[in-house]
């Protein structure tokens, strides 16, 4: 299976989610090497973009390079603020390294909701839809939206129709409501029905893991978030049915290789040390003495010290 967003055609179904602090340039490049066809940046707030429009290098989340293809910039903010939103779109449009704009109407964080952003905007789409429609008319890049089933209730049938009416080029849906925590199971079956009815490219998101990939065979695109952390190999598994059958053979040696691959990329594309530590920790899951290693990483003062200890402990 394959999918397409505007002029961009993707041969594989795996998509890396916009994970705060993790979907950095080196991690995106790693996931691309392991089969992700499309990646997303971390959330970038429109209030960040406009003040730094003349020097976007100050926003590390917007670091990119020629190999960072195809990548969507995910914007978050109060999109009912027409003037600020359109100015941010103008700035992002000028970035040649990024290919697609994604508008966040799904983040359930209390801090984001308090700023009339993320999933909060689902509650009053009537004020957002005209702005999205205008974004679509002025942007040089394809425009997509990431949202949820609803805020309090599952209203995605209505929400999706309204969003599609603006002319957006694609839709990503997380299969939970904004009020749901991760203990609530994602409603996969419901989105399978929506997938058959929707008229634009559709990307599924929610509870994807290496152990349940067969549940998502009906979707032409699958967004992976938490499961990709420390396990970029999942993007290869998504489209390789033989590997899915042998999923338990994904062992610690493969995780070591992925970690070393990440280090090679990181040396070329440095990121802030706190984010580097978080990504390193994600590779330690299931290793002997993982908890002690996480403690060592958290106390490390620089990358040289951190890498040296990890290599020694993991026999790399």
pLDDT tens by residue, 118-143: 999 999 899 999 999 999 999 999 99
The mean per-residue pLDDT over the stretch 209-224 comes to 92
Half-sphere exposure of 107 (CA within 13 A, CB side): 26
Question: Does residue 315 have a pLDDT over 90?
Answer: no
pLDDT value, residue 292: 86
The mean per-residue pLDDT over the stretch 207-233 comes to 93
Instruction: Name which residue leads in pLDDT, 91 or 249.
Output: 91
- Nearest CA to 269 out of 38, 60, 69 is that of 60
CATH fold for domain 3-248: TIM Barrel (3.20.20)
The mean per-residue pLDDT over the stretch 81-87 comes to 97
What is the C-alpha to C-alpha distance for residues 29 and 19, in angstroms, rounded to an integer? 14
Residues in the chain: 316
pLDDT value, residue 243: 62
Average pLDDT of the chain, as a whole number? 93
Percent of the chain with pLDDT over 70: 96
The mean per-residue pLDDT over the stretch 155-170 comes to 98
On the question of a cis peptide bond just before residue 70, with omega within 30 degrees of 0, the verdict is: yes
pLDDT tens by residue, 255-280: 889 999 999 999 999 999 999 999 99
> Residues 173, 150: contact at Cβ < 8 Å?
no
The mean per-residue pLDDT over the stretch 198-208 comes to 96
pTM for this one? Answer: 0.95
pLDDT value, residue 158: 97
pLDDT tens by residue, 228-259: 999 999 999 998 756 655 544 457 888 889 99
pLDDT value, residue 285: 84
Strand-pairing partners, residue 143, are 101
pLDDT value, residue 245: 55
DSSP reduced 3-state for 167: coil
| Annotated domain spans of the chain | 3-248, 252-313
pLDDT value, residue 198: 93
The helices-and-strands tally (H runs, E runs) of the chain is 13, 10
pLDDT tens by residue, 22-68: 999 999 999 999 999 999 999 999 999 999 888 888 899 999 999 99
**Two tokens at 56?**
């976007």
């Amino acid at each position: 299976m394959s999918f397409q967003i505007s002029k961009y055609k993707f041969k594989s179904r795996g998509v890396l989610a916009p994970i705060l602090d993790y979907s950095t340039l080196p991690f995106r490049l790693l996931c691309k090497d392991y089969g992700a066809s499309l990646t997303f940046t971390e959330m970038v707030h429109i209030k960040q973009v406009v003040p730094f429009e003349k020097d976007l290098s100050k926003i590390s989340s917007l670091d990119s390079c020629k190999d960072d293809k195809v990548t969507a910039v995910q914007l978050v903010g109060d999109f009912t603020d027409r003037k600020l939103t359109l100015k941010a779109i103008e700035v992002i449009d000028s970035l040649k390294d990024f290919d697609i704009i994604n508008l966040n109407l799904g983040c359930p964080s209390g801090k984001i909701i308090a700023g009339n952003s993320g999933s909060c905007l689902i509650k009053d789409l009537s004020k957002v839809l005209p702005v999205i429609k205008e974004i679509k008319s002025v942007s040089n890049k394809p425009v997509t939206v990431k949202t949820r089933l609803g805020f309090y209730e599952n209203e995605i049938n209505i929400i999706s129709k309204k969003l599609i009416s603006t002319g957006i080029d694609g839709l990503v849906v997380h299969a939970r409501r904004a009020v749901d925590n991760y203990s609530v199971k994602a409603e996969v079956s419901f989105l399978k029905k929506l997938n058959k009815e929707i008229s634009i490219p559709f990307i599924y998101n929610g509870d994807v893991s290496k152990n349940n990939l067969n549940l998502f065979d009906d979707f032409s695109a699958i967004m992976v978030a938490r499961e990709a952390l420390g396990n970029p190999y999942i993007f290869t598994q998504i489209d390789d049915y033989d590997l899915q059958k042998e999923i338990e053979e994904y062992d610690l040696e493969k995780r070591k290789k992925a970690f070393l691959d990440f280090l090679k990329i990181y040396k070329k594309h440095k990121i802030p040390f706190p984010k580097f530590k978080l990504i390193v920790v994600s590779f330690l899951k299931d290793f002997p003495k993982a908890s002690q290693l996480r403690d060592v990483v958290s106390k490390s003062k620089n990358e040289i010290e951190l890498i040296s200890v990890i290599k020694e402990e993991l026999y790399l």
